[in-house]
Amino acid sequence: MNYTKILEEIKEEVAPLIGKGKVANYIPALASVPNNKYGIAITTINGNCYTVGDAEEEFSIQSISKVFTFAMAFKSIGEKLWQRVGKEPSGNPFNSLVQLEKENGIPRNPFINAGALVVTDSLIHNNFNPKKSILDFIRKLSGNQQINYNTEIARSENEYGHRNYALAHFMKSYNNIYSEPDELLDVYFHQCSLSMSCVDLSKAVLFLANHGVVPNTDEIILTTSQAKRTNSLMMTCGMYDASGDFAFRVGIPGKSGVGGGIIAVIPGELGICVWSPELDEFGNSLTGVKTLELFTTKTGVSIF
């Protein structure tokens, strides 16, 4: 497969879409990212990396971090995690509060904000230093020791984070958050603020394309079953209430963030990350989704 040629073709085909979405503007540090940034990186499980555009440039990974904290929690807590968070698509926006009351403070899945807060809370509960362990985990997976939190973004998220505070306090009233909301939100805003490139992320997600094992070190991150389940969750819940559309158009497990990144995996083959900051109405990268649709169409790969 000539990935370089395919990536270049896609970059050209999606160019007219730039300008049709909206860069996240709920905090100044995200609003100031140039809308025309665009990169793709693919890393195959046998170690080849293919890129196009701004694939080496760092951006704010935001909700993509939910996959990594989930993997950490699933590894250490296992099936008990499902007592506190569900595994159904929400059909609601990522930061919605409405379902939580009807469902007694148990979030629908780990990839909406409420669910990710429960996951991060479980890391705090099981670990003395979650900020350090999240960073160590990400650095190990991507093989890049330079990756760091963007403290300016984390601070700004905190300043404008009233809805996330509301979610945490609300769930705490149902005894589904154990730590103090201030401490929890500090860790959560830091995980969202991680700065990574498409290359870093295409490597970091690779264990999910390889039955839970990091290909070049053979380190087992998740069991085969856990990796399969994580991919199922990405497939059904990774793009919020546009998950069905993404499954229909793209047909592989993926996870988006409001920084404009999307990670996705083709099990047995590769990890891919695309970055384009303009979002659609669901908070997913507009050009990013189209990029992945073209990628699976042109390569003919899909999990179906």
**Which residues form the interface with ligand GLN (CB under 6 A)?**
62-63, 94-95, 113, 157, 164, 192, 257-258, 283
**With the CA atoms of 156, 160, 162 and 164 taken in that order, what torsion angle do they form, in degrees rounded to the nearest 10?**
-50
For ligand GLN, the closer CB: 95 or 276: 95
Minimum Å gap between C-beta 118 and ligand GLN is 14
Q: Which of 38, 50, 66, 202 is catalytic?
A: 66
Residue 254 bridge partners (DSSP) = 264
66 classed as catalytic: yes
CA distances to 115, 117, 216, 253 from 164, rounded to whole Å, are 11, 8, 37, 26
- Provide the 8-state DSSP code for 79: G
CB nearer to ligand GLN: give 110 or 257. Answer: 257
**Is the CB of 117 or the CB of 270 nearer to ligand GLN?**
117
Host H or E run for residue 233:
helix 224-237
* Spacing of C-alpha 158 from chain mean position: 19
Closest CA to 55 of 253, 189, 190, 203: 203
Beta bridge partners of 60: 195
188 is known as an active-site residue: yes
Looking at the Cβ atoms of 197 and 284, the one nearer to ligand GLN is: 284
Least distance in angstroms from the C-beta of 114 to ligand GLN = 10
| Residue 118 tokens, joined | 């429960």
Structure tokens belonging to residue 96 = 């919605």
67 noted as active-site residue: no
Catalytic residue among 3, 156, 188, 205, which? 188
Choosing from 199, 258, 265, 274, which is the catalytic residue? Answer: 258
- 213 an active-site residue? no
CA 148 to CA 139: how far, in whole Å? Answer: 9
90 is catalytic: no
Nearest distance from residue 218's CB to ligand GLN, in Å? 32
Element at 254 (helix H, strand E): strand 254-256
Per the residue annotation, which of 240, 250, 276, 290 is the catalytic one?
240
Left (φ > 0), alpha (ψ -120 to 50) or beta: where does 195 sit?
beta
Residue 95 beta carbon to ligand GLN: minimum distance, rounded to whole angstroms: 5
Q: Which of 50, 52, 60, 63 is catalytic?
A: 63
Smallest gap from residue 130 Cβ to ligand GLN (A): 16
- 């990890």: which residue's tokens? 271
Nearer to ligand GLN, 3 or 94 (CB): 94
> Residue 13, CB half-sphere, CA atoms under 13 Å: how many?
16
CB of 8 to ligand GLN, least distance (A): 28
Closer residue to ligand GLN (CB): 43 or 158? 158
Q: How many CA atoms lie within 13 A of 62 on its CB side?
A: 29
**Which residue's C-beta sits nearest to ligand GLN?**
63
Helix (H) or strand (E) holding 148: strand 148-149
The catalytic residues are 63, 66, 188, 240, 258
